[in-house]
Structure 1
Amino acid sequence: MNLQEIIHRLETIYQQTDYNGSYALVTADKILAKKNYGFAKFKEKQLFTEATQSCIGSVTKQFTGTACMILHEQGKLNLEMPVVAFFPDLLIPKAITVKHLLTMSSGLPDYPTELFLNSLKKIKEQRPELNEKLQEFYAEFATAEQISFNKLKTIITTKPMDFQVGTRVSYSNTNYYLLGLIIEKVSGLSFEKFVTQKILSPLSMVKTSFATQNSIARSYRNIDNELHEFPNTYQLLSADGCMVSTINDLSKWLQAVLKGEILSPESWDQVFNLYLKEYNCGWMKLGDWFYHGGQYLGFYCEIFLHRKAGLGKVMLYNREATSELDQYSMDERSNWRNLIRDWSFSQN
């Protein structure tokens, strides 16, 4: 298949699965494809475009991880430094290092999970007439608001460790919340200012920002054939998931990673040397692609990178498909990634 046929296959998958958002496919120096589908705001019929600002959720962690590596290159942040050196009153094992946070191997519990479960329990007690999907919809609001460091400390100190430090990898937003604070302590700047100065400005990512309420798009979930809009009254500001961006800006980010910009070649190799072959600096593996997804109140972002094939792909969308369509889409897009990877290898 030629490139246009492969791109047509992807766009057919999106049409068949009622995709609502934007995507881009890039090499280090070219945009191979870019397309927009549906609405940023359904009631207003405002189109979703390549410049639509939308929450990227946990893809924020790639910028947090890169910021830590910048400080490491500058000699300001030792990745083997115990986390308690930055937070003396935080009752966690002294063995947990910055590296354990970056690689999701600290064993610290995931604070949004605790917030969600507590909220879901209350909603089930207060609104027993709602079906399970609606109860979960409302419970998710509890994970969307910024929590204080004191509240985070309470969660950490009242919940047991998930596992012994460094023995395995398990996803926990708590790790990257703490990394954001460490970046501020080490750099003397806010997380927003440091990432803007060192990453966003050099890459001309001018539409990327650091508060979820900056999203122009609204987010939606289909429940029992009815479209429910998430409220835009919540504000997340922490380094585990606060950022808002566009397909244009995220394309620039992927191209910068493919070119090896921002960090040294040695640091990029370190980033993609996943701990226990599972996670590092906001990247994991899905097949032979490096990957990360983000989710925040119905907003979704997915980033894929194949270093050897020299390809990157990013998706931003603001409405969930049904579970059946979503599974079909994931399966078909996985097959499609094999096609585009093989095409790229055939060009060299």
Structure 2
Amino acid sequence: MNFRKKTNILHILLLTIAVSSCKNENKEVRKAEIKDADLPKNVLPKMKPFVDESPKLTASYIAEKQKKIDSFYNKNWPNNSMNGGFLVAQNGQIIYEKYEGYANFRDKTLITSTTPIHIASVSKVLTATAVLKLVNAKRIDLDQKVTDFLKEFPYPDVTVRMLLCHRSGMRSYAYFTDRDKNVWDRHNTLTNQDILTIMGTKNIGLEQKTGTRFAYCNTNYAMLALIIEKVTKLSYKEAMAEIIFKPLGMKNTFVLDFDKDKKNVAPSYKGNKVEIGIDYLDKIYGDKNIYSTPRDLLKFDRARNSPSFLEPELLAQVYTGYSNEHKGTKNYGLGIRMINWENGKNFYFHNGWWHGFTSSYIPLKDENVTIIALSNKFTRSTYAVRKLSVLFGDYPFKVADE
């Protein structure tokens, strides 16, 4: 074989190897692209179907409770003054519910069992639960640093757990964006990403040293919403629907899409029925901005506290108090408030208040009872529903019908 033939064969061989290599590289690129495209499906935790096997309540028991709850309702919201939805259930069975007033006073749209109402800070319970589902799916570690997810985040010692239990030490975004135009112009609507960018670029100091004490702060949950987005590759609105709302059949629950929904949702009102307008903080989600109904929240509560929803060890951490530097009965878990009495009795709850919206979510775990109250006309009476706990267990509150 002459030199020219050998050279041609060598060129052909090299060209074949190069083409084969390119094909393999393209295959790897396509694999990577496919893997990345499928990422949201892979990171979303699988949901086991929830089957409620609690024993059925007797008709006489239900009638007895209904009479006492009705007496409380009429005294707590006299003259049909609630303007919202109210529900009490045990073992998943609704014992008492009532809906009254207007979702919109202008067009006289009535509030019904399917009317979504802004649940204010009760949204934190649902945000925390989405995070915990991702923890359950091994996509997040509770003690992982926030900087692992949010590179701009300027506080290196803060963990996911600290965000959940309000021990990060961060300042409220409502305060550091309210007073200084050099930080934020209130003519512009603030977003979650704006909060992160401001903290990372405007030298926003901590309120107190990270991990030293409890300080309830909405900024914690605005950051948790961004972490959910980073991990799932979905918007918070989409992720909450896929992780919580759709699997649990919460058909009347959604995260506010500010630009699309702000004129279509039920507005809020002062106690005198004067409508409260939107402001520059109304686009923030995670800490608020979920709309729901008492029936949907009952579905959520039943599933969340079932043994198949979260691993038992993880669920136990939800109801553990993390702020014990000062002796007292009040504490905060992973997205839930609590009162721990010395006799060993524990009361779990979360309240909400945003503009004229007020909300109360109470799971009486020992008695398998759920109490939910939502209103879009400001009233502190929403929070009084905790008194109903004495109808079901040994809780040291004043008797409900006193």
How high is the TM-score relative to the length of structure 1?
Answer: 0.80
Q: Structure 1 residues 29, 160: closer, same or farther in 2, change over 3 A? A: same
Counterpart mapping for 1:70-109 below 5 A: 70-92=133-155, 94-109=156-171
Q: Offset at 1:330?
A: 6.9
Q: Offset at 1:286?
A: 4.5
Superposed CA RMSD in Å reads 2.8
Determine which of 183, 193, 216 is the counterpart of 2:265: 216
Counterpart mapping for 1:145-294 below 5 A: 145-155=189-199, 157-211=202-256, 214=261, 216-222=265-271, 226-231=272-277, 235-276=282-323, 278-286=331-339, 288-294=346-352
Q: Offset at 1:294?
A: 2.0
Higher share in helix:
1
Q: Distance in 2 between matches of 1:113 and 1:61?
A: 19
Q: SS at the partner of 2:255? A: coil
Q: Structure 1 residues 331, 272: closer, same or farther in 2, change over 3 A? A: closer
Unaligned stretches of 5+ residues in structure 1: 120-141, 344-348
Is residue 2:100 matched to residue 1:34?
no
**Match for residue 304 of structure 1?**
362
Q: Structure 1 residues 332, 263: closer, same or farther in 2, change over 3 A? A: closer
Higher RCO (C-alpha under 8 Å, 6+ residues apart)? 1
Q: SS at the partner of 1:259? A: coil
Q: Distance in 1 between matches of 2:130 and 2:163?
A: 13
Amino acid at match of 1:279: Y
Unaligned stretches of 5+ residues in structure 2: 1-60, 325-330, 341-345, 396-402
1:5-50: per-residue Cα shift (whole Å, max 9, x none)?
3212221233328322111111232111110121111222221111
Q: Distance in 1 between matches of 2:72 and 2:306?
A: 25
Q: Is the 8 A contact 1:64 1:281 kept in 2?
A: no
Q: Is the 8 A contact 1:28 1:256 kept in 2?
A: no
Q: SS at the partner of 1:227? A: coil
Q: Structure 1 residues 162, 281: closer, same or farther in 2, change over 3 A? A: same
Q: Offset at 1:174?
A: 0.9
Q: Is the 8 A contact 1:111 1:152 kept in 2?
A: no
Q: Is the 8 A contact 2:373 2:382 kept in 1?
A: no
Please tell me whether Structure 1 or Structure 2 has the larger radius of gyration of its CA atoms.
2
Counterpart mapping for 1:121-140 below 5 A: none
How high is the TM-score relative to the length of structure 2?
Answer: 0.70
Q: SS at the partner of 1:341? A: coil
Q: Is the 8 A contact 1:207 1:245 kept in 2?
A: yes
Q: Offset at 1:342?
A: 4.7
Q: Offset at 1:113?
A: 3.4
Determine which of 16, 21, 27 is the counterpart of 2:78: 16
Q: Structure 1 residues 286, 33: closer, same or farther in 2, change over 3 A? A: farther
Q: Distance in 2 between matches of 1:7 and 1:291?
A: 19
Q: SS at the partner of 1:16? A: coil
Q: Offset at 1:260?
A: 3.9
Is residue 2:128 matched to residue 1:69?
no
Q: Is the 8 A contact 2:146 2:158 kept in 1?
A: yes
Q: How many residues align?
A: 312
Q: Distance in 2 between matches of 1:24 and 1:335?
A: 14
Q: Offset at 1:210?
A: 0.9
**Match for residue 118 of structure 2?**
55
Q: Offset at 1:159?
A: 3.3
Q: Distance in 1 between matches of 2:362 and 2:187?
A: 26
**Match for residue 175 of structure 2?**
113
Q: Structure 1 residues 334, 207: closer, same or farther in 2, change over 3 A? A: closer
Q: Structure 1 residues 229, 260: closer, same or farther in 2, change over 3 A? A: farther
Amino acid at match of 2:361: I
Q: Is the 8 A contact 2:375 2:382 kept in 1?
A: no
